[in-house]
Amino acid sequence: MTIGCNQIVDCILKNCSTLVPGIKDLAYFINYDHVDKDLSTFDPSNPLLLTSLVLKTVSPEAYAYCVTGYNFSNEHNTALVKKTYQKVWDHNFIFRIFDNTPEVKLWIRNAASSRFMVIIENNYSKVDIDGILPTGRTTFEVLGWDQGLELNAGERNTEDEETLGGWLLTAGSSDKIKESLPPLSYFVGGTLATTRAAIASMLAPCCDD
């Protein structure tokens, strides 16, 4: 038996940092097939800490595509799902698009028939008071690492008071096959700055606009 496998080996102490709810309006969508899992790396002591996410070299080029909300319109939730023998995790990303152009509809149609990962940026960026751990490990998270997310719901109500005729979309895990782990923390090179640089190197040129 592997030592520490499926056993609790650490404590959770009082968090002196103040939690900040919510995620940023900017999220990044990456086509599931474009992620090079062979070159992507994890922290050797923690399989929930993704230390490098590398895109494949394909044609047309693989990118991380921006989806920008407005005024905290993006939401994320994750939940444990108990199956008969094992426990799995449901990842959900709810976002709103405040537009209805043919390009937006084409994007939604393409997203509806694809699988993707989503990188979200939490508002909570923990500063370790003891100074042992680097700052910013709680900032970015990757959803859908195992199977990818899919568009589970999409609706547009022209009378809706929230979206005013925009789109409300829900991306999440499949109904039957869920993720084996909670969302992965994404932290590259030991600093938040290098993590942001890694994301910047993946961005599609349309993100500049």
Partner 1 sequence: MRLYDEVHRFARDYINHKSLRSTWKKRKIKEAYERLTGKKINISCSTCFIEALLTIVNNTKMAARNYELKKGVVLQAFGEPSKTCTNDTLTDELAEWFLKNYPEKRIFFSRMPAKIKMAPPKDIEIIKPKVEEKEVKTVEPVAEVIPNEEPKEKPKKVKRAKKTPNLKT
Contacting residues toward partner 1, per CB under 8 A: 36, 39-40, 52-57, 59-64, 103, 188-189, 194, 197-202, 204-206, 209
Residue (17 or 194) nearer to partner 1, CB: 194
Residue (31 or 92) nearer to partner 1, CB: 31
Residues 6 or more apart whose CB falls under 8 angstroms from that of 167 comprise: 96, 97, 99, 100, 104, 108, 154, 155, 156
Burial degree of 139 (CB within 10 A; 0-12, 13-18, 19+) = buried
Residue (157 or 201) nearer to partner 1, CB: 201
The token pair that represents 140 in the structure block:
């970015």
Closest CB 141 distance from partner 1, rounded Å: 16
Closest CB 170 distance from partner 1, rounded Å: 24
One-letter amino acid at 83 equals K
Residue (120 or 188) nearer to partner 1, CB: 188
Tokens 């592997």 -> residue: 2
Closest CB 188 distance from partner 1, rounded Å: 5
Comparing C-alpha atoms, which of 31, 7, 194 is closest to residue 114?
31
Closest CB 103 distance from partner 1, rounded Å: 5
